[in-house]
A and B are shown apart, each in its own frame.
Chain A
Amino acid sequence: MAIRSFFLFILFFSSSLSPVFSLYEDQVGLMDWHQQYIGKVKQAVFSSQRAGRKRVVVSTEENVIASLDLRHGEIFWRHLLGADDVIDGIDIGLGKYVITLSSGGSILRSWNLPDGQMVWESSLQGPKHSKSFLLVPTNLKFDKDNVLVVFSNGRLHAISCIDGEVLWKKDFEAESFEVQQVIQPPGSDLIYVVGFAASYQFEMYQINAKNGELLKHESASFSSGFSGEVSLVSTETVVALDSTGSILLTISFQDGKISSQQTPISNLVEESLGPAVIIPSSVSGIFAIKTDAVTVFIRVIGEGKLEVVEKTTHEIAVSDALSISEDQEAFALIQHASSEIHLTVKLAHDWDGNLLKESVKMDRQRGLVHKVFINNYIRTDRSYGFRVLIVMEDHSLLLLQQGEIVWSREDGLASIIDVTTSELPVERNGVSVAKVEHNLFEWLKGHMLKLKGTLMLASPEDMAAIQSMRLKSSEKSKMTRDHNGFRKLLIVLTRAGKLFALHTGDGRIVWSHLLRSLHKSEACQSPIGLNLYQWQVPHHHAMDENPSVLVVSRCGPSSDAPGVLSFVDTYTGKELSSLSLDHAVVQVIPLPYTDSTEQRLHLLINADKHAHLYPKTSEALSIFKREFLNIYWYSVEDQNGIIKGHALKCKCTGEVADEFCFDTRDLWSVVFPSESEKIVATVTRKLNEVVHTQAKVVADQDVMYKYISRNLLFVATVAPKGSGEIGSVTPEESWLVAYLIDTVTGRILHRVTHHGLQGPVHAVFSENWVVYHYFNLRAHRYEMSVIEIYDQSRADNKDVWKLVLGKHNLTSPISLFSRPEVITKSQSYFFTHSLKAIAVTSTAKGITSKQLLLGTIGDQVLALDKRFLDPRRTVNPTQAEKEEGIIPLTDSLPIIPQSYVTHALRVEGLRGIITVPAKLESTTLVFAHGVDLFFTQLAPSRTYDSLTEDFSYALLLITIVALVAAIFVTWRLSERKELQEKWSFYSAFASQSTFSSLFLCDN
Chain B
Amino acid sequence: MEKGKGVLGAGRRWAVDFSDNSTAPSSRDIPDPPGFTRASVDQDDSAVSRQKKDAEANWKAQKAWEVAQAPFKNLLMMGFMMWMAGSTVHLFSIGITFSALWQPISALQGVGKVFEPYKDNKVELLGPKLLFIALNLGGLALGVWKLNTLGLLPTHASDWVSSLSPAQEVEYSGGGIPL
Chain B residues 104-157 with CB under 8 Å of chain A are: 151, 154-157
Chain A residues 692-740 with CB under 8 Å of chain B are: 692-695, 697, 701-703, 706, 708-711
A4-B86, A703-B161 as given contacts; A586 in contact with B174, CB under 8 Å: no
- Contact, CB under 8 Å: A797 / B157: yes
Closest A-chain residue to B14, C-beta based? A985
- Contact, CB under 8 Å: B156 / A800: yes
Neighbouring B residues of A3 by C-beta, 8 Å: 84
A sample of 8 more A-B contacts (CB under 8 A), given A799-B157, A811-B168, A813-B169, is A7-B85, A530-B179, A630-B170, A632-B171, A682-B176, A693-B161, A697-B158, A814-B170
**Does B40 make an interface contact (CB < 8 A)?**
no
Chain B nearest CB, measured from A770 CB (Å)? 15
Q: How large is the interface on A (under 10, 10 to 19, 20 to 34, 35 or more residues)?
A: 35 or more
- Separation of A630 and B169 alpha carbons in the complex (Å): 10
- Contact, CB under 8 Å: A8 / B86: yes
Neighbouring A residues of B154 by C-beta, 8 Å: 800, 804
**Does B173 make an interface contact (CB < 8 A)?**
yes
Hey, what's the 0/1 contact readout for A789-828 against B, CB within 8 Å counting as 1?
Answer: 0000000011110011000001111111100000000000
- Contact, CB under 8 Å: A7 / B172: no
Neighbouring B residues of A695 by C-beta, 8 Å: 158, 161-162, 164
Neighbouring B residues of A268 by C-beta, 8 Å: none
Neighbouring B residues of A635 by C-beta, 8 Å: 175-176, 178
Chain B nearest CB, measured from A840 CB (Å)? 17
Binds A, one of B44-52, B60-68, B88-96: B88-96
Binds B, one of A588-596, A670-678, A902-910: A588-596
5 A-B pairs with least C-beta separation: A589-B174, A803-B160, A701-B156, A632-B173, A695-B161
**Does A952 make an interface contact (CB < 8 A)?**
no
- Contact, CB under 8 Å: B161 / A630: no
**Does A743 make an interface contact (CB < 8 A)?**
yes
- Contact, CB under 8 Å: A814 / B178: no
A587-B175, A587-B179, A591-B174 as given contacts; A814 in contact with B91, CB under 8 Å: no
- Separation of A592 and B168 alpha carbons in the complex (Å): 12
- Contact, CB under 8 Å: A816 / B170: yes
- Contact, CB under 8 Å: A711 / B173: yes
Can you list 23 contacts pairing A with B, beta carbon distance less than 8 Å? A4-B84, A7-B86, A11-B88, A530-B179, A589-B175, A631-B173, A635-B176, A636-B176, A645-B173, A684-B176, A693-B163, A693-B165, A695-B161, A701-B151, A701-B157, A711-B169, A743-B175, A744-B171, A798-B157, A800-B154, A800-B160, A803-B161, A816-B170
**Does A413 make an interface contact (CB < 8 A)?**
no
Give the residue of A706, A709, A803 whose beta carbon is less than 8 angstroms from that of B157: A803
**Does A193 make an interface contact (CB < 8 A)?**
no
**Does A633 make an interface contact (CB < 8 A)?**
yes
Neighbouring B residues of A682 by C-beta, 8 Å: 176-177
**Does B24 make an interface contact (CB < 8 A)?**
no
- Contact, CB under 8 Å: A603 / B166: no
**Does B8 make an interface contact (CB < 8 A)?**
no
A682-B176, A693-B166, A703-B158 as given contacts; A711 in contact with B92, CB under 8 Å: no
Chain A nearest CB, measured from B83 CB (Å)? 8
A695-B158, A803-B160, A1000-B30 as given contacts; A708 in contact with B90, CB under 8 Å: no
**Does A15 make an interface contact (CB < 8 A)?**
yes
Closest B-chain residue to A605, C-beta based? B175
Neighbouring A residues of B84 by C-beta, 8 Å: 3-4, 7
- Separation of A652 and B170 alpha carbons in the complex (Å): 25
Hey, what's the 0/1 contact readout for A607-636 against B, CB within 8 Å counting as 1?
Answer: 000000000000000000001001111111
**Does A559 make an interface contact (CB < 8 A)?**
yes
- Contact, CB under 8 Å: B157 / A632: no
**Does B167 make an interface contact (CB < 8 A)?**
yes
Neighbouring A residues of B157 by C-beta, 8 Å: 701, 703, 797-800, 803
- Contact, CB under 8 Å: B169 / A694: no
Closest A-chain residue to B179, C-beta based? A530
Chain A nearest CB, measured from B22 CB (Å)? 14
Neighbouring A residues of B160 by C-beta, 8 Å: 800, 803-804
User: Residue among B155, B157, B174 with the most chain A CB within 10 A?
Assistant: B174
Chain B nearest CB, measured from A850 CB (Å)? 16
Neighbouring B residues of A292 by C-beta, 8 Å: none
**Does A514 make an interface contact (CB < 8 A)?**
no
- Contact, CB under 8 Å: A691 / B171: no
Neighbouring A residues of B170 by C-beta, 8 Å: 630, 813-816
Neighbouring A residues of B176 by C-beta, 8 Å: 587, 634-636, 682, 684
Neighbouring B residues of A340 by C-beta, 8 Å: none
A587-B178, A632-B171, A815-B171 as given contacts; A800 in contact with B162, CB under 8 Å: no
**Does A554 make an interface contact (CB < 8 A)?**
yes
Neighbouring B residues of A634 by C-beta, 8 Å: 173-176
- Separation of A696 and B104 alpha carbons in the complex (Å): 36
